[in-house]
Amino acid sequence: MNYLAVKTCTSCDTDKAVALFSKDARAKAGLTSRCKACDKEYRITNAEAISAKQKIYYAENLEAISAKQKIYNAKNAVAKAAYNKIYNAENSEAISAKKKIYNEKNSEAIAAYNKIHYAENADAICAKNGAYKKANPGKANSLEAKRRAAKLERTPVWSDAKEISLIYQQSASLQKLFGRAMNVDHVVPLQGDLVSGLHAPHNLQIMFAPDNLYKSNKFDIEGFNA
């Protein structure tokens, strides 16, 4: 493209260098009819109408757009991953702050969705976690070592090891009985954000794996004290 060439903007009717126009593959000359300044003003003035038009277009062409996006993502997976890695590293604080605000505003909806998702995909999630541990033994071993250390530090001298063992045996028996994965969970997490519990019989409960995955490292202190 000859950037010294001149093009007339159809909006302000001014001859401007082609560098001041955006690219448009649909246009015959490969450039937008309006210059960048006029196009920006147009979009600001007609923001609501443009948004409504785009919403209708996406709704009517959802499948075609999704298919096209899927092909593009497959072809540019490496480049996109590299870009995302750099972008996330350079904007980690802003991303975390934005994510935190979003999670706080939508906490109930997120919790409801996660509970359903874990219940419906328990086997797939367990399989995925197992595959991750197998593919990343170093990280998996590190996390397990951290959990073992936390369990040791949170095990009081008066804790009944035999009773704890019986709870784990009962969990295994229930798993065979129901044919579903069961976990022994710490009611108050060993590594909670607000409070940490003990590895003792009174702080153990048997849960279906999906419920335990959903609960994760969270502790509902208000519900506990109710």
Domain contains 127: yes
146/212: higher pLDDT = 212
Q: Strands 182-186 and 204-208, how do they pair?
A: antiparallel
- Final residue belonging to a domain, choices 80, 111, 140: 80
Domain co-membership, 69 together with 132: no
Domain contains 103: no
Domain contains 185: yes
218/8: higher pLDDT = 8
- Final residue belonging to a domain, choices 80, 99, 131: 80
pLDDT of residue 51: 93
Domain co-membership, 136 together with 220: yes
Domain co-membership, 75 together with 126: no
pLDDT of residue 141: 67
**Of 2, 72, 10, 64, nearest to 38 (Cα)?**
10
Domain co-membership, 220 together with 132: yes
Determine contact, residues 203/189, Cβ cutoff 8 Å: no
Determine contact, residues 40/51, Cβ cutoff 8 Å: no
pTM value?
A: 0.40
Residue 49 has pLDDT above 90, yes or no: yes
Region 167-171: what's the mean pLDDT?
86
Count of beta carbons in the 10 Å neighbourhood of residue 150: 16
Residue 1 has pLDDT above 60, yes or no: no
Number of domains in the chain: 2
Domain co-membership, 214 together with 131: yes
Domain co-membership, 211 together with 157: yes
Range ranked top by mean pLDDT from 35-44, 95-104, 124-133: 35-44
Q: Show the domain range for 14.
A: 6-80
Residues of the chain above pLDDT 90, percent = 37
Domain co-membership, 140 together with 195: yes
- Final residue belonging to a domain, choices 53, 80, 107: 80
Domain contains 206: yes
Give CA–CA dist 74/55, Å, rounded.
25
Region 155-166: what's the mean pLDDT?
85
Domain co-membership, 75 together with 139: no
The phi, psi pair for 141, rounded to 5°, reads -65, -35
Domain contains 112: no
Residues of the chain above pLDDT 70, percent = 91
Residue 2 has pLDDT above 70, yes or no: no
pLDDT of residue 149: 63
Give CA–CA dist 122/222, Å, rounded.
27
19/111: higher pLDDT = 19
Give residue-wise pLDDT tens across range 53-100.
999 999 999 999 999 999 999 999 999 999 999 999 999 999 999 998
